[in-house]
Chains A and B, each alone.
Chain A
Amino acid sequence: MRALKHNVSIGILVLAPSIIAIAIFVYGFIAWTVRVSFSNWNSFTALLRGVYKFVGFRNYIRLFRDFRFQTDLWNTLFFTLFFLAGAILLGLLLAALIDRGLKGSRIFQNIFLFPMALSFVVTGTVWSWIFAPGTLPMDPQGVNLLLHKLGLDKLMWGWYTSTQHFGRFNVALLPVIIAAVWQLSGYTMAMYLAGLRGIPSSLIEAAKVDGATDFQIFWKVKMPLLKPITLSAMIILGHISLKIFDLVFSMTGSGPNFVTDVPAIYMFELTFRSNRYAMGSAIAIVMLVMVAVVIVPYLIGSLRKES
C-alpha cells in the first residue's frame, strides 16, 4: 500500500517533466528514427532539402542484401554466444571460488570486479595492444611475442586481424570476446555472489547432515537456486552484446573484410561518415528490435511479479 493517497495530482506533476522527457527522447525519437529509415535521406543534400519521400522497406531490403550487414549480424550472433558463455561460466566459477571464504577472498573479488569501473574505450585501447599481432613471422608483437619467447611460434596467429573463419564464424572475434569477458565477468560474479549469499544456511546445513560433499552441495543445492540469476545475467549481458560499440570501435574497428564489424559500427559510419541517414536509421531500428525481443519480456515479467 502506498502512503500518499491524497497527493496524487502533485505526485504526477512532479513526475511530469521526466515522463515528458522520456516520451520525447525515447519514444518520440524512436518514432522519428523509424520515419527516417523509411525515407530516401541518403545524402546530405537530400536531408537539407528536407522533402520527405517515403520509400517503404527499401533501405531495409538493401541492408539485408548487403554483405557487410550480413557479416555484422553473424558477428553479433557469434560474439553474443561466446561472450555470454564465457562471462557466465567464468563469473560462476569465480563466485564459487570466492564463496568458499578463503583468506584473501576479498582482495581477489576486488581484482575480478575492477574492470567494471573502466570505460570500454580504455579496455579496447589496452587489449588492442596486447593482441596486436605484429608482422609475422619476423616481428611478433603482444601475445605473439610471448608465444615466440616461449618457443611456441606455431601458435602465433593474426588475432583480430585474421581473416580465417569457420563457416560464418570469424575467428578474429575471439580477442574481442576475451576483452569483453575480461571486462564483464566480474559483473556476473557479483550477481552470483549476491545470490549465493542469499541462500539460507539452514539449507546447506541440512544437506551436510545428509552427508553431501561440498561439490554436491554446490551442484545439487546451490545451482538450482541460482537459475534466475543466470537468466538475468543472460539478459543483461545479452543486450549489452547486441548493441556493443565502444569496445569494438576502440579495439579493432571493422577489421579486414569486416571480420570484427558489428551493426553499431556500420550504423555509425553510415550516419556520421557517409551521410546515409536513412540506411543508418534502418540499422538502428534493427538493433532496437533485437534488444527489445530480449528486454521486453523481461520487463513485463518483472512488472507482473510486482503487482
Chain B
Amino acid sequence: MKKGSTIVSYILLFIFAMFFLTPIYVLVATSFKPLKEIGISDMWKLPKQPSLEGLVKAFKKLGPNLKNSFYLTIPATIISSFLGSINGYVFSKVRFKGANLIFTIILFGMFIPYQSVLFPLIRFLQKINLYGTIPGLILVHVVYGIPITSLIFRNYYSEVPDELVEASQIDGAGFFGTYARILLPLSIPAFVVVVIWQFTNIWNEFLFAVTVTSNPAKQPITVALVNLAGSQVIEWNVQMAGAIITALPTLTVYVLLGRYFIRGLLAGSIKG
C-alpha cells in the first residue's frame, strides 16, 4: 500500500511540475528561435537552429530600461531596509503608549490598492519636480515599503532578549549605541530577508512604474516589456527573450537565496 501511494505521489508531482515548467519551456525555446522559426505552427517545437537573434534584439531594446530598473531598485532597497530596521527597533524595544495601534495603522498602508493614492501622488510628484524621474520612483517605493520592512524587522527584533538591550543600557550605551552594538550585528538574516523581498517587489512592480514615468527612456523594464507587445507585428522570439531578461535578476536571487525569499513571503502574511 505504501509503495502504491508513493508512485501516485510521484506521478502527481511530475504532472504539476510540468504545469509549472511549461511557461519556462515556451520562454526559453522561443527566445532561442531565429525569426523564421517563430511562425505559430512551430510554437511548441524546440528551435531547429538555435539563435541569439531574439535575445540580442531584446537586449538592445530593453538594455536602457534594465539599467533604469537597477538604478531604481538598488537605492530604494537599501534605503527602505535601513529605514525598516530602525523602525523595527523602536517598535520592538521602546515602550510607549499606542505603539501597537500606530504600528497597525502603518501596516494598513501595505494592503491598500495603490490606485487609491495614485492621482494625488502624481500631482504631488509633479509639484516637487520628481514626476517622471527615477528618484521620484525611489521615493515612492521607500515610502510604501515602510510597512513591510518595519514589520519584518520588528518581528525579528522581538526575538532578541530584552536583557541584552537592558545590559547595554546599564553599560551606558544610549539609544543609537545600543542599536549599533547589539541589534545591528544580529540583523544580518533579517536584512537578507528584507533586501530580497524589496528587491523582488520593486523590480517586479508595474503600476507605479507605468504611471510615474511616462518617458520611455526613463521607464523600468517591466513597463518596457509590456510596451514591446504594443508594436504592430509582435516578434515572439524578441518578446519572450524580453520576458527572460526581465525575469532573470529576481530569478537569480530566488535560485541563490530561495530560503530567505520564502521567509519574506511568509512574513508578508503577518503571522507573528
Q: Which residues from chain A sit less than 8 Å from chain B, CB to CB?
A: 1-8, 10-12, 14-15, 17-19, 21-22, 25-26, 28-30, 32-33, 36, 90, 93-94, 97, 100, 102, 104, 108, 110-123, 125-130, 132, 134, 139, 141-142, 145-146, 182, 186-187, 190-191, 194, 214, 228, 232-233, 236, 239, 242-243, 245-246, 249-250, 264, 267-268, 271-272, 277, 280-281, 283-285, 287-288, 291-292, 295-296, 299-300, 302-303, 305-307
Q: Which of B27, B111, B211 contacts A126 (CB 8 A)?
A: B27
What is the bound-complex CA distance between A303 and B103, given in angstroms? Answer: 9
15 contacting pairs across A/B (C-beta < 8 A): A2-B95, A3-B163, A8-B94, A33-B119, A36-B119, A97-B13, A100-B6, A102-B9, A113-B262, A121-B206, A125-B242, A182-B20, A191-B269, A271-B119, A306-B272
What is the bound-complex CA distance between A182 and B61, given in angstroms? Answer: 28
Chain B residues near A4 (CB, 8 Å)? 93-95, 165, 169, 175, 178
| Contact yes or no, B225 A122, CB < 8 A | yes
Given the interface pairs A288-B116, A299-B107, the reply to whether A8 lies near B95 with Cβ below 8 Å is yes
CB distance from B231 to the nearest CB of A (A): 13
Q: Which residues from chain B sit less than 8 Å from chain A, CB to CB?
A: 5-6, 9-10, 12-13, 16-17, 19-23, 26-27, 30, 40-41, 43-44, 83, 86-87, 89-96, 99-102, 104-109, 111-121, 124, 143-144, 146-147, 150, 162-163, 165-166, 169, 174-175, 178, 200, 203-207, 211, 222, 225-226, 229, 236, 239-240, 242-243, 246-247, 250-251, 253-254, 258, 261-262, 265-266, 268-272
Which residue, of B163, B178, B270, has the highest number of chain A Cβ atoms within 10 A?
B270
| Contact yes or no, A130 B116, CB < 8 A | no
Given the interface pairs A11-B90, A122-B246, the reply to whether A110 lies near B22 with Cβ below 8 Å is no
Chain A residues near B250 (CB, 8 Å)? 117-119
What is the bound-complex CA distance between A284 and B30, given in angstroms? Answer: 38
| Contact yes or no, B112 A26, CB < 8 A | yes
| Contact yes or no, B95 A1, CB < 8 A | yes
What is the bound-complex CA distance between A243 and B206, given in angstroms? Answer: 13
| Contact yes or no, B26 A111, CB < 8 A | no
What is the bound-complex CA distance between A113 and B250, given in angstroms? Answer: 13
What is the bound-complex CA distance between A281 and B113, given in angstroms? Answer: 12
Chain A residues near B207 (CB, 8 Å)? 245-246, 264
Closest chain A residue to B86 by CB distance? Answer: A14
| Contact yes or no, A121 B101, CB < 8 A | no
| Contact yes or no, A125 B239, CB < 8 A | yes
Chain A residues near B22 (CB, 8 Å)? 130
| Contact yes or no, B262 A2, CB < 8 A | no
| Contact yes or no, B92 A30, CB < 8 A | no
Chain B residues near A120 (CB, 8 Å)? 204, 206
Q: Which of A19, A114, A182, A239 contacts B19 (CB 8 A)?
A: A182
| Contact yes or no, A18 B106, CB < 8 A | yes
Chain A residues near B150 (CB, 8 Å)? 18
